[in-house]
Protein backbone atom coordinates (compact mmCIF):
# COMPACT_ATOMS: atom_id res chain seq x y z
CA UNK A 1 0.00 0.00 0.00
CA UNK A 2 1.49 3.35 -0.91
CA UNK A 3 2.19 5.99 1.66
CA UNK A 4 -0.29 8.76 2.19
CA UNK A 5 0.34 11.80 0.06
CA UNK A 6 -1.76 14.66 -1.21
CA UNK A 7 -1.78 17.32 -3.86
CA UNK A 8 -1.03 20.25 -1.59
CA UNK A 9 -2.69 23.07 -3.51
CA UNK A 10 -5.86 21.04 -4.05
CA UNK A 11 -5.90 19.89 -0.43
CA UNK A 12 -5.51 23.49 0.73
CA UNK A 13 -8.33 24.61 -1.58
CA UNK A 14 -10.61 21.87 -0.30
CA UNK A 15 -9.85 22.82 3.30
CA UNK A 16 -10.76 26.45 2.59
CA UNK A 17 -13.93 25.34 0.81
CA UNK A 18 -14.92 23.19 3.76
CA UNK A 19 -14.39 26.05 6.21
CA UNK A 20 -16.60 28.32 4.10
CA UNK A 21 -19.25 25.61 3.84
CA UNK A 22 -19.34 25.11 7.59
CA UNK A 23 -19.66 28.87 8.10
CA UNK A 24 -22.45 29.04 5.53
CA UNK A 25 -24.28 26.19 7.24
CA UNK A 26 -23.94 27.84 10.65
CA UNK A 27 -25.21 31.18 9.31
CA UNK A 28 -28.23 29.52 7.68
CA UNK A 29 -29.21 27.67 10.83
CA UNK A 30 -28.74 30.84 12.87
CA UNK A 31 -30.96 32.77 10.45
CA UNK A 32 -33.84 30.33 10.88
CA UNK A 33 -33.48 30.24 14.66
CA UNK A 34 -33.49 34.03 14.83
CA UNK A 35 -36.36 34.38 12.36
CA UNK A 36 -38.56 32.01 14.31
CA UNK A 37 -37.54 33.55 17.65
CA UNK A 38 -38.43 36.98 16.26
CA UNK A 39 -41.78 35.70 15.04
CA UNK A 40 -42.62 34.01 18.35
CA UNK A 41 -41.83 37.17 20.35
CA UNK A 42 -43.02 39.53 17.58
CA UNK A 43 -39.71 41.36 17.96
CA UNK A 44 -38.98 43.57 14.92
CA UNK A 45 -35.33 44.13 15.95
CA UNK A 46 -34.59 40.46 15.41
CA UNK A 47 -35.89 40.78 11.86
CA UNK A 48 -33.13 43.29 11.07
CA UNK A 49 -30.54 40.78 12.29
CA UNK A 50 -32.07 38.15 9.99
CA UNK A 51 -31.86 40.53 7.01
CA UNK A 52 -28.18 41.09 7.77
CA UNK A 53 -27.59 37.34 8.02
CA UNK A 54 -29.37 36.78 4.71
CA UNK A 55 -27.02 39.25 3.04
CA UNK A 56 -23.98 37.51 4.51
CA UNK A 57 -25.27 34.11 3.40
CA UNK A 58 -25.69 35.36 -0.15
CA UNK A 59 -22.20 36.88 -0.25
CA UNK A 60 -20.66 33.70 1.14
CA UNK A 61 -22.57 31.62 -1.37
CA UNK A 62 -20.97 33.64 -4.19
CA UNK A 63 -17.53 33.19 -2.66
CA UNK A 64 -18.05 29.44 -2.37
CA UNK A 65 -19.19 29.27 -5.97
CA UNK A 66 -15.95 30.99 -6.95
CA UNK A 67 -13.93 28.58 -4.74
CA UNK A 68 -15.54 25.64 -6.51
CA UNK A 69 -15.05 26.96 -10.05
CA UNK A 70 -11.38 27.71 -9.27
CA UNK A 71 -10.80 24.22 -7.88
CA UNK A 72 -12.38 22.60 -10.92
CA UNK A 73 -10.54 24.83 -13.39
CA UNK A 74 -7.14 24.57 -11.76
CA UNK A 75 -7.01 21.05 -10.36
CA UNK A 76 -9.30 18.87 -12.51
CA UNK A 77 -10.50 17.00 -9.41
CA UNK A 78 -11.94 13.50 -9.62
CA UNK A 79 -13.66 10.91 -7.43
CA UNK A 80 -14.39 12.06 -3.86
CA UNK A 81 -12.73 15.46 -4.41
CA UNK A 82 -14.98 16.11 -7.40
CA UNK A 83 -18.06 14.92 -5.52
CA UNK A 84 -17.19 17.22 -2.60
CA UNK A 85 -16.91 20.23 -4.90
CA UNK A 86 -20.05 19.55 -6.95
CA UNK A 87 -22.00 18.80 -3.78
CA UNK A 88 -20.81 22.06 -2.23
CA UNK A 89 -21.92 23.93 -5.36
CA UNK A 90 -25.35 22.32 -5.19
CA UNK A 91 -26.03 22.69 -1.49
CA UNK A 92 -24.93 26.32 -1.26
CA UNK A 93 -28.15 26.99 -3.17
CA UNK A 94 -30.09 25.07 -0.52
CA UNK A 95 -28.43 27.08 2.24
CA UNK A 96 -29.13 30.28 0.37
CA UNK A 97 -32.80 29.33 0.00
CA UNK A 98 -32.97 28.54 3.72
CA UNK A 99 -31.59 32.03 4.39
CA UNK A 100 -34.21 33.52 2.06
CA UNK A 101 -37.06 31.73 3.84
CA UNK A 102 -35.72 32.96 7.18
CA UNK A 103 -35.81 36.47 5.68
CA UNK A 104 -39.39 35.90 4.49
CA UNK A 105 -40.43 34.86 8.00
CA UNK A 106 -38.70 37.95 9.40
CA UNK A 107 -40.67 40.12 6.96
CA UNK A 108 -43.93 38.59 8.17
CA UNK A 109 -42.91 39.40 11.73
CA UNK A 110 -42.57 43.06 10.69
CA UNK A 111 -46.03 43.02 9.13
CA UNK A 112 -47.56 41.90 12.44
CA UNK A 113 -46.17 45.15 13.86
CA UNK A 114 -45.76 43.61 17.30
CA UNK A 115 -49.42 43.74 18.29
CA UNK A 116 -51.18 40.67 16.94
CA UNK A 117 -53.82 39.48 19.53
CA UNK A 118 -53.77 35.80 20.49
CA UNK A 119 -50.50 35.42 18.61
CA UNK A 120 -49.08 32.55 20.65
CA UNK A 121 -52.35 30.62 20.45
CA UNK A 122 -52.65 31.23 16.71
CA UNK A 123 -49.16 29.86 16.14
CA UNK A 124 -50.69 26.41 16.87
CA UNK A 125 -48.45 23.71 15.39
CA UNK A 126 -45.88 26.19 14.08
CA UNK A 127 -43.44 25.95 17.05
CA UNK A 128 -43.39 22.14 16.84
CA UNK A 129 -42.93 22.34 13.10
CA UNK A 130 -40.12 24.84 13.57
CA UNK A 131 -38.34 22.56 16.01
CA UNK A 132 -38.40 19.61 13.61
CA UNK A 133 -37.35 21.74 10.62
CA UNK A 134 -34.38 23.11 12.56
CA UNK A 135 -33.46 19.60 13.73
CA UNK A 136 -33.46 18.47 10.11
CA UNK A 137 -31.22 21.34 9.04
CA UNK A 138 -28.92 20.63 11.98
CA UNK A 139 -28.80 16.93 11.14
CA UNK A 140 -27.93 17.65 7.49
CA UNK A 141 -25.22 20.10 8.51
CA UNK A 142 -23.68 17.69 11.01
CA UNK A 143 -23.65 14.97 8.36
CA UNK A 144 -21.89 17.31 5.94
CA UNK A 145 -19.28 18.32 8.48
CA UNK A 146 -18.65 14.75 9.68
CA UNK A 147 -18.89 13.27 6.14
CA UNK A 148 -21.44 10.88 7.65
CA UNK A 149 -23.70 9.42 4.95
CA UNK A 150 -25.49 6.90 7.13
CA UNK A 151 -27.02 9.48 9.49
CA UNK A 152 -28.86 11.13 6.59
CA UNK A 153 -29.49 8.23 4.22
CA UNK A 154 -33.15 8.15 5.35
CA UNK A 155 -33.59 11.87 6.08
CA UNK A 156 -36.53 12.00 3.68
CA UNK A 157 -38.55 9.97 6.18
CA UNK A 158 -37.90 12.54 8.93
CA UNK A 159 -39.37 15.19 6.65
CA UNK A 160 -42.75 13.41 6.61
CA UNK A 161 -43.44 14.74 10.13
CA UNK A 162 -42.98 18.32 8.88
CA UNK A 163 -45.36 17.72 6.00
CA UNK A 164 -47.98 16.30 8.37
CA UNK A 165 -47.64 19.25 10.72
CA UNK A 166 -47.96 21.68 7.82
CA UNK A 167 -51.20 20.00 6.84
CA UNK A 168 -52.45 20.11 10.44
CA UNK A 169 -51.51 23.79 10.83
CA UNK A 170 -53.27 24.59 7.57
CA UNK A 171 -56.48 22.96 8.78
CA UNK A 172 -56.28 24.68 12.17
CA UNK A 173 -55.82 28.08 10.56
CA UNK A 174 -58.54 27.57 7.96
CA UNK A 175 -60.96 26.54 10.73
CA UNK A 176 -60.16 29.71 12.65
CA UNK A 177 -60.58 31.88 9.57
CA UNK A 178 -63.84 30.15 8.64
CA UNK A 179 -65.21 30.70 12.13
CA UNK A 180 -63.99 34.30 11.92
CA UNK A 181 -61.94 33.98 15.10
CA UNK A 182 -58.93 34.89 12.95
CA UNK A 183 -58.67 37.64 10.35
CA UNK A 184 -58.11 36.13 6.88
CA UNK A 185 -55.20 38.45 6.09
CA UNK A 186 -53.45 37.50 9.33
CA UNK A 187 -54.26 33.78 8.96
CA UNK A 188 -52.84 33.77 5.45
CA UNK A 189 -49.54 35.05 6.88
CA UNK A 190 -49.39 32.17 9.38
CA UNK A 191 -50.05 29.78 6.49
CA UNK A 192 -47.15 31.35 4.60
CA UNK A 193 -44.91 30.74 7.62
CA UNK A 194 -45.85 27.05 7.65
CA UNK A 195 -45.09 26.92 3.93
CA UNK A 196 -41.65 28.48 4.46
CA UNK A 197 -40.86 26.03 7.25
CA UNK A 198 -41.93 23.11 5.09
CA UNK A 199 -39.64 24.36 2.29
CA UNK A 200 -36.75 24.79 4.74
CA UNK A 201 -37.19 21.14 5.76
CA UNK A 202 -37.20 20.13 2.08
CA UNK A 203 -33.91 21.92 1.55
CA UNK A 204 -32.49 20.09 4.58
CA UNK A 205 -33.51 16.83 2.89
CA UNK A 206 -31.78 17.93 -0.32
CA UNK A 207 -28.61 18.67 1.63
CA UNK A 208 -28.76 15.32 3.44
CA UNK A 209 -29.23 13.39 0.21
CA UNK A 210 -26.39 15.28 -1.46
CA UNK A 211 -24.15 14.39 1.49
CA UNK A 212 -24.89 10.71 0.85
CA UNK A 213 -23.75 11.19 -2.76
CA UNK A 214 -20.70 13.18 -1.70
CA UNK A 215 -19.49 10.52 0.72
CA UNK A 216 -20.50 7.30 -1.08
CA UNK A 217 -21.27 8.18 -4.70
CA UNK A 218 -24.78 6.71 -4.23
CA UNK A 219 -27.72 8.73 -5.50
CA UNK A 220 -30.61 8.52 -3.05
CA UNK A 221 -33.88 7.99 -4.93
CA UNK A 222 -36.66 10.44 -4.18
CA UNK A 223 -39.73 8.51 -3.06
CA UNK A 224 -43.07 10.14 -2.35
CA UNK A 225 -44.32 9.74 1.22
CA UNK A 226 -47.37 7.81 0.09
CA UNK A 227 -45.20 5.33 -1.84
CA UNK A 228 -42.91 4.91 1.16
CA UNK A 229 -45.94 4.17 3.35
CA UNK A 230 -47.18 1.57 0.83
CA UNK A 231 -43.76 -0.09 0.79
CA UNK A 232 -43.64 -0.55 4.54
CA UNK A 233 -47.10 -2.08 4.69
CA UNK B 1 -21.28 -5.10 -26.02
CA UNK B 2 -19.28 -6.93 -28.65
CA UNK B 3 -16.02 -8.26 -27.35
CA UNK B 4 -13.05 -7.65 -29.64
CA UNK B 5 -10.02 -8.56 -27.55
CA UNK B 6 -9.77 -10.45 -24.30
CA UNK B 7 -6.75 -11.21 -22.18
CA UNK B 8 -7.06 -14.26 -19.97
CA UNK B 9 -4.75 -14.68 -16.98
CA UNK B 10 -2.03 -12.87 -18.88
CA UNK B 11 1.35 -12.62 -17.16
CA UNK B 12 4.60 -11.44 -18.68
CA UNK B 13 8.21 -11.50 -17.57
CA UNK B 14 11.47 -9.79 -18.46
CA UNK B 15 13.88 -12.54 -17.45
CA UNK B 16 13.04 -13.23 -13.80
CA UNK B 17 11.20 -9.96 -13.31
CA UNK B 18 7.46 -10.09 -13.71
CA UNK B 19 5.98 -7.13 -15.64
CA UNK B 20 2.30 -8.01 -15.43
CA UNK B 21 0.50 -10.61 -13.38
CA UNK B 22 -2.65 -12.56 -14.16
CA UNK B 23 -4.48 -9.86 -16.10
CA UNK B 24 -7.91 -10.76 -17.44
CA UNK B 25 -9.39 -7.84 -19.29
CA UNK B 26 -12.03 -7.38 -21.99
CA UNK B 27 -11.81 -4.77 -24.77
CA UNK B 28 -15.08 -3.80 -26.39
CA UNK B 29 -15.28 -3.41 -30.16
CA UNK B 30 -15.53 0.19 -31.44
CA UNK B 31 -14.75 1.55 -28.01
CA UNK B 32 -11.70 3.28 -26.54
CA UNK B 33 -10.15 1.67 -23.49
CA UNK B 34 -7.56 3.65 -21.56
CA UNK B 35 -4.95 1.98 -19.40
CA UNK B 36 -3.66 4.12 -16.57
CA UNK B 37 -1.29 3.57 -13.68
CA UNK B 38 2.04 4.78 -12.32
CA UNK B 39 5.31 4.28 -14.17
CA UNK B 40 6.40 0.66 -14.19
CA UNK B 41 2.93 -0.71 -13.46
CA UNK B 42 2.88 -2.80 -16.64
CA UNK B 43 0.74 -0.67 -18.96
CA UNK B 44 3.09 -0.83 -21.92
CA UNK B 45 3.96 -4.47 -21.25
CA UNK B 46 0.27 -5.34 -21.41
CA UNK B 47 -0.31 -3.76 -24.80
CA UNK B 48 2.98 -5.08 -26.17
CA UNK B 49 1.73 -8.56 -25.31
CA UNK B 50 -1.44 -7.79 -27.24
CA UNK B 51 0.35 -7.58 -30.57
CA UNK B 52 3.20 -9.94 -29.78
CA UNK B 53 5.84 -7.26 -29.48
CA UNK B 54 6.76 -8.34 -25.96
CA UNK B 55 8.24 -11.61 -27.16
CA UNK B 56 10.83 -9.88 -29.39
CA UNK B 57 12.69 -8.65 -26.28
CA UNK B 58 15.51 -11.04 -25.27
CA UNK B 59 14.54 -13.26 -22.29
CA UNK B 60 11.00 -11.93 -22.32
CA UNK B 61 8.14 -14.41 -22.08
CA UNK B 62 4.45 -14.48 -21.33
CA UNK B 63 1.77 -16.84 -20.07
CA UNK B 64 -1.99 -16.79 -20.46
CA UNK B 65 -4.00 -15.90 -23.52
CA UNK B 66 -4.79 -12.94 -25.74
CA UNK B 67 -7.93 -13.62 -27.76
CA UNK B 68 -8.78 -11.60 -30.89
CA UNK B 69 -12.38 -12.31 -31.91
CA UNK B 70 -12.09 -15.40 -29.72
CA UNK B 71 -8.94 -16.67 -31.44
CA UNK B 72 -5.67 -17.03 -29.53
CA UNK B 73 -3.17 -14.64 -31.16
CA UNK B 74 -0.31 -16.90 -30.16
CA UNK B 75 -1.79 -19.56 -32.47
CA UNK B 76 -1.52 -17.11 -35.39
CA UNK B 77 1.62 -15.82 -37.11
CA UNK B 78 3.11 -12.76 -35.39
CA UNK B 79 3.05 -10.88 -38.72
CA UNK B 80 -0.68 -11.41 -39.26
CA UNK B 81 -1.37 -10.44 -35.63
CA UNK B 82 0.53 -7.18 -36.05
CA UNK B 83 -1.36 -6.44 -39.25
CA UNK B 84 -4.68 -6.87 -37.44
CA UNK B 85 -3.53 -5.17 -34.24
CA UNK B 86 -1.52 -2.03 -35.02
CA UNK B 87 0.64 -0.06 -32.63
CA UNK B 88 1.48 3.63 -32.30
CA UNK B 89 4.36 4.47 -30.01
CA UNK B 90 5.11 7.20 -27.50
CA UNK B 91 7.68 8.88 -29.70
CA UNK B 92 6.71 9.40 -33.31
CA UNK B 93 9.00 7.15 -35.37
CA UNK B 94 8.50 7.81 -39.07
CA UNK B 95 11.00 5.99 -41.30
CA UNK B 96 13.70 8.67 -41.48
CA UNK B 97 14.69 8.24 -45.10
CA UNK B 98 11.15 7.99 -46.48
CA UNK B 99 8.76 10.62 -47.78
CA UNK B 100 5.34 11.19 -46.24
CA UNK B 101 3.80 9.08 -49.03
CA UNK B 102 6.27 6.24 -48.63
CA UNK B 103 5.89 6.20 -44.85
CA UNK B 104 2.16 5.66 -45.16
CA UNK B 105 2.38 3.10 -47.94
CA UNK B 106 5.33 1.21 -46.42
CA UNK B 107 3.20 -1.52 -44.84
CA UNK B 108 1.38 -2.33 -48.06
CA UNK B 109 4.57 -2.25 -50.12
CA UNK B 110 6.23 -4.62 -47.66
CA UNK B 111 3.29 -6.95 -48.27
CA UNK B 112 4.02 -6.85 -51.98
CA UNK B 113 1.42 -4.34 -53.15
CA UNK B 114 2.76 -2.50 -56.21
CA UNK B 115 -0.47 -1.24 -57.77
CA UNK B 116 0.01 2.55 -57.79
CA UNK B 117 -3.71 3.27 -57.84
CA UNK B 118 -4.30 1.13 -54.77
CA UNK B 119 -1.33 2.68 -52.99
CA UNK B 120 -2.58 6.20 -53.84
CA UNK B 121 -6.06 5.37 -52.53
CA UNK B 122 -4.64 3.88 -49.35
CA UNK B 123 -2.38 6.87 -48.69
CA UNK B 124 -5.29 9.27 -49.26
CA UNK B 125 -7.69 7.29 -47.07
CA UNK B 126 -5.15 6.75 -44.26
CA UNK B 127 -4.02 10.38 -44.16
CA UNK B 128 -7.65 11.50 -44.09
CA UNK B 129 -8.44 9.05 -41.30
CA UNK B 130 -5.45 10.36 -39.37
CA UNK B 131 -6.69 13.96 -39.89
CA UNK B 132 -3.43 14.86 -41.63
CA UNK B 133 -4.42 14.99 -45.31
CA UNK B 134 -5.26 18.70 -45.42
CA UNK B 135 -1.89 19.57 -43.92
CA UNK B 136 0.33 17.40 -46.14
CA UNK B 137 -1.58 17.02 -49.42
CA UNK B 138 0.90 19.34 -51.17
CA UNK B 139 4.00 17.84 -49.58
CA UNK B 140 3.58 14.10 -49.97
CA UNK B 141 7.12 13.85 -51.33
CA UNK B 142 8.66 15.73 -48.39
CA UNK B 143 10.58 13.65 -45.83
CA UNK B 144 8.32 12.34 -43.04
CA UNK B 145 10.74 13.67 -40.45
CA UNK B 146 10.31 17.23 -41.80
CA UNK B 147 6.81 17.39 -40.29
CA UNK B 148 6.12 18.84 -36.83
CA UNK B 149 6.00 16.48 -33.82
CA UNK B 150 2.21 16.31 -33.81
CA UNK B 151 2.11 15.77 -37.58
CA UNK B 152 4.73 13.02 -37.30
CA UNK B 153 2.60 11.26 -34.71
CA UNK B 154 -0.45 11.46 -36.97
CA UNK B 155 1.75 10.22 -39.83
CA UNK B 156 2.57 7.16 -37.71
CA UNK B 157 -1.12 6.70 -37.02
CA UNK B 158 -1.81 6.92 -40.78
CA UNK B 159 0.93 4.35 -41.37
CA UNK B 160 -0.70 2.02 -38.82
CA UNK B 161 -4.15 2.54 -40.40
CA UNK B 162 -2.88 1.88 -43.94
CA UNK B 163 -2.81 -1.89 -43.41
CA UNK B 164 -6.42 -1.72 -42.18
CA UNK B 165 -5.99 -3.10 -38.68
CA UNK B 166 -8.98 -3.99 -36.52
CA UNK B 167 -7.40 -2.86 -33.28
CA UNK B 168 -5.14 0.13 -32.69
CA UNK B 169 -2.86 0.14 -29.65
CA UNK B 170 -1.45 3.54 -28.68
CA UNK B 171 1.36 3.79 -26.15
CA UNK B 172 1.27 7.30 -24.69
CA UNK B 173 0.70 8.83 -28.11
CA UNK B 174 0.58 12.44 -26.86
CA UNK B 175 3.26 12.49 -24.19
CA UNK B 176 5.68 14.42 -26.41
CA UNK B 177 3.10 16.77 -27.94
CA UNK B 178 1.90 20.28 -27.15
CA UNK B 179 -1.77 20.88 -26.15
CA UNK B 180 -2.87 21.74 -29.71
CA UNK B 181 -1.31 18.63 -31.23
CA UNK B 182 -2.66 16.62 -28.28
CA UNK B 183 -6.18 17.91 -28.92
CA UNK B 184 -5.90 16.84 -32.56
CA UNK B 185 -4.84 13.31 -31.61
CA UNK B 186 -7.61 13.12 -29.01
CA UNK B 187 -10.21 14.21 -31.59
CA UNK B 188 -8.74 11.62 -33.90
CA UNK B 189 -9.06 8.87 -31.28
CA UNK B 190 -12.71 9.86 -30.84
CA UNK B 191 -13.32 9.45 -34.58
CA UNK B 192 -11.22 6.31 -34.96
CA UNK B 193 -13.36 4.27 -32.60
CA UNK B 194 -16.18 4.30 -35.14
CA UNK B 195 -14.12 1.90 -37.24
CA UNK B 196 -11.49 0.51 -34.90
CA UNK B 197 -11.12 -0.82 -31.41
CA UNK B 198 -8.69 1.49 -29.65
CA UNK B 199 -6.52 0.92 -26.59
CA UNK B 200 -4.61 3.93 -25.22
CA UNK B 201 -1.92 3.79 -22.58
CA UNK B 202 -1.65 7.17 -20.92
CA UNK B 203 -0.07 8.88 -17.94
CA UNK B 204 -2.52 11.72 -18.35
CA UNK B 205 -5.68 10.92 -16.42
CA UNK B 206 -7.57 13.84 -17.90
CA UNK B 207 -6.76 12.44 -21.31
CA UNK B 208 -8.18 9.06 -20.28
CA UNK B 209 -11.27 10.85 -18.98
CA UNK B 210 -11.64 12.79 -22.23
CA UNK B 211 -11.17 10.03 -24.78
CA UNK B 212 -11.92 6.66 -23.23
CA UNK B 213 -15.18 4.76 -22.85
CA UNK B 214 -13.53 2.37 -20.39
CA UNK B 215 -10.55 2.84 -18.13
CA UNK B 216 -8.41 0.15 -16.53
CA UNK B 217 -6.11 0.94 -13.60
CA UNK B 218 -2.96 -1.14 -13.19
CA UNK B 219 -0.68 -1.11 -10.17
CA UNK B 220 2.47 -3.18 -9.65
CA UNK B 221 1.60 -5.31 -12.67
CA UNK B 222 -1.91 -6.16 -11.49
CA UNK B 223 -5.28 -5.03 -12.74
CA UNK B 224 -6.83 -3.18 -9.82
CA UNK B 225 -10.04 -1.96 -11.43
CA UNK B 226 -11.70 -1.58 -14.80
CA UNK B 227 -14.93 0.28 -15.32
CA UNK B 228 -16.72 2.75 -17.52
CA UNK B 229 -14.52 5.85 -17.48
CA UNK B 230 -17.25 8.09 -16.08
CA UNK B 231 -17.82 5.66 -13.22
CA UNK B 232 -14.14 5.16 -12.49
CA UNK B 233 -13.42 8.88 -12.22
CA UNK B 234 -16.61 9.74 -10.35
CA UNK B 235 -16.88 6.84 -7.91
CA UNK B 236 -14.02 4.36 -8.14
CA UNK B 237 -14.78 1.03 -6.51
CA UNK B 238 -11.28 0.43 -5.14
CA UNK B 239 -9.55 2.53 -2.52
CA UNK B 240 -6.25 2.18 -4.38
CA UNK B 241 -7.83 3.60 -7.55
CA UNK B 242 -9.27 6.53 -5.58
CA UNK B 243 -5.86 7.26 -4.08
CA UNK B 244 -4.13 7.15 -7.45
CA UNK B 245 -6.55 9.28 -9.43
CA UNK B 246 -6.88 11.90 -6.68
CA UNK B 247 -3.10 12.14 -6.33
CA UNK B 248 -2.97 10.79 -2.76
CA UNK B 249 -0.27 8.37 -3.68
CA UNK B 250 3.17 8.52 -2.12
Tell me the pLDDT band of A5, cut-offs 50, 70 and 90.
Answer: low
- Please state, for a pLDDT cut of 90, what percent of chain A lies above it: 76
pLDDT at A1 over 90: no
Where does residue A225 fall: left (phi above 0), alpha (psi -120 to 50 degrees), or beta otherwise?
Answer: alpha
pLDDT at A228 over 80: no
Residues A86-111 pLDDT 10s: 999 999 999 999 999 999 999 999 98
Q: Looking at the 3D structure of chain A, how many domains does it have?
A: 1
Q: What is the mean pLDDT of residues B10-35?
A: 96
Domain carrying residue A198 = 8-232
pLDDT at B193: 93
Tell me the pLDDT band of B64, cut-offs 50, 70 and 90.
Answer: very high
Residue of A nearest to B234 (CA): A79
Partners of A79 on chain B (C-beta within 8 Å) are: 233-236, 241-242, 245-246
Query: What ipTM describes this predicted complex?
Result: 0.74
pLDDT at A230: 76
CATH number of residue A33's parent domain: 1.20.58.220
Average model confidence (pLDDT) for chain B? 94
C-alpha distance from B41 to closest chain A C-alpha (Å): 13
Residues A119-132 pLDDT 10s: 878 888 888 999 99
Contact assignment for A217 to B250 by CB distance below 8 Å:
no
**Superfamily assignment of B3-95+166-245 in CATH?**
P-loop containing nucleotide triphosphate hydrolases (3.40.50.300)
Contact assignment for A80 to B248 by CB distance below 8 Å:
no
Residues B191-224 pLDDT 10s: 899 999 999 999 999 999 999 999 999 999 999 9
Interface test with A, best of B230, B248, B250 (most A CBs within 10 A): B248
pLDDT at A232: 62
pLDDT at A4 over 70: no
C-alpha distance from A94 to closest chain B C-alpha (Å): 23
Measure the CA–CA gap between B176 and A89, rounded to whole angstroms.
Answer: 36
Q: What is the DSSP string of A111-165?
A: HHTT--TTHHHHHTTHHHHHHHHHHHHHHHHHHHHHT-SGGGTTHHHHHHHHHHH
Interface test with B, best of A3, A13, A79 (most B CBs within 10 A): A79
- Please state, for a pLDDT cut of 70, what percent of chain B lies above it: 100
Of A52, A63, A139, which Cα lies nearest the Cα of A99?
A52
Q: What is the mean pLDDT of residues B22-50?
A: 96
Q: Chain A residues contacting B, CB < 8 Å?
A: 1-7, 10, 76-83, 216-217
pLDDT at A115 over 70: no
Average model confidence (pLDDT) for chain A? 91
Residue A3 lies in a domain: no
Contact assignment for A7 to B247 by CB distance below 8 Å:
yes
Residue predicted with more confidence, A85 or A182: A85
Of B144, B149, B150, which Cα lies nearest the Cα of B100?
B144
pLDDT at B45: 96
For residue B13, what is the enclosing H or E element?
Answer: strand B3-14
Residues B85-140 pLDDT 10s: 999 998 889 999 999 999 999 999 988 899 999 999 999 999 998 989 999 999 99
Contact assignment for A6 to B248 by CB distance below 8 Å:
yes
Measure the CA–CA gap between A173 and B101, rounded to whole angstroms.
Answer: 86
Q: What is the mean pLDDT of residues B235-242?
A: 95
Instruction: Return the number of other C-beta atoms located less than 10 Å from residue A101's C-beta.
Output: 23
pLDDT at A70 over 50: yes
Q: What is the mean pLDDT of residues A150-165?
A: 93
pLDDT at A3 over 60: no
Q: What is the mean pLDDT of residues B168-188?
A: 89
Pick A4's closest partner by Cβ from B235, B240, B248: B248
Cα B173 to chain centroid distance, Å, stands at: 8
Residue A1 lies in a domain: no
Q: What is the mean pLDDT of residues B227-250?
A: 91
Contact assignment for B240 to A1 by CB distance below 8 Å:
yes
Cβ–Cβ contact B37 with A under 8 A = no
Angle at B140 between CA B168 and CA B111, to 5 degrees: 50
Amino acid sequence: MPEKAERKALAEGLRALNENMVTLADLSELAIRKAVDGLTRLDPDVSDEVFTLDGEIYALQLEIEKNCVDLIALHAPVARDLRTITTSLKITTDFDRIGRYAKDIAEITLRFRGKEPDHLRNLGSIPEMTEIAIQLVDKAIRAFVARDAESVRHIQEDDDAVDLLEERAFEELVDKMTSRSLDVGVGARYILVTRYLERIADHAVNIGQRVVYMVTGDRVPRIRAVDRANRTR
Amino acid sequence: MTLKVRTEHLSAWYGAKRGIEDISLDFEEHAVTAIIGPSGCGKSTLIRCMNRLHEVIPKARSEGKVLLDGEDIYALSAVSVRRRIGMVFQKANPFPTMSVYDNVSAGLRLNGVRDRKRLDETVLRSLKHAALWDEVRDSLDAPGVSLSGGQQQRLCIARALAVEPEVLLMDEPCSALDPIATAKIEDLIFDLKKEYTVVVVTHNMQQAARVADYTAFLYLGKLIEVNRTRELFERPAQDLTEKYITGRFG
